[in-house]
Amino acid sequence: MIHFLYLISFAAIVGVVFGALLDGTSKERVIYGLKIFGQFIGISLVLAWLFYFLPW
């Protein structure tokens, strides 16, 4: 469970930083930051699900 909290924290920090660095309006920055956050979480969960089924 602690790994998931680290993932959420890291994704939030990266989303905020990337959103702050984007040129554009405030609305575009917020949308971009949320999009990056969602992509981090989504891709990480998909990869975790795929790795679960790999025999080690």
Query: Model confidence over 7-29: pLDDT tens digits?
Result: 999 999 999 999 999 998 999 99
In a domain, 6, yes or no: no
Residue 8 within any structural domain of the chain:
no
Domain-embedded: residue 40: yes
Position 38 in a domain:
yes
Residue indicated by tokens 């080690």:
56
The tally of domains found in the chain comes to 1
Contact (CB, 8 A) for 32 and 18: yes
Q: At what angle do helices 26-52 and 2-21 cross, to 10 degrees?
A: 150
| pLDDT interval class at 48 (50, 70, 90) | very high
How far, in Å, CA of 1 to CA of 21, rounded?
A: 31
Inside any domain, residue 2: no
What percentage of the chain exceeds 90 in pLDDT? 89
Residue 15 lies in a domain: no
Q: Which pair of structure tokens corresponds to residue 7?
A: 């993932």
Assigned token pair, 29:
């920055």
Domain containing residue 38: 21-51
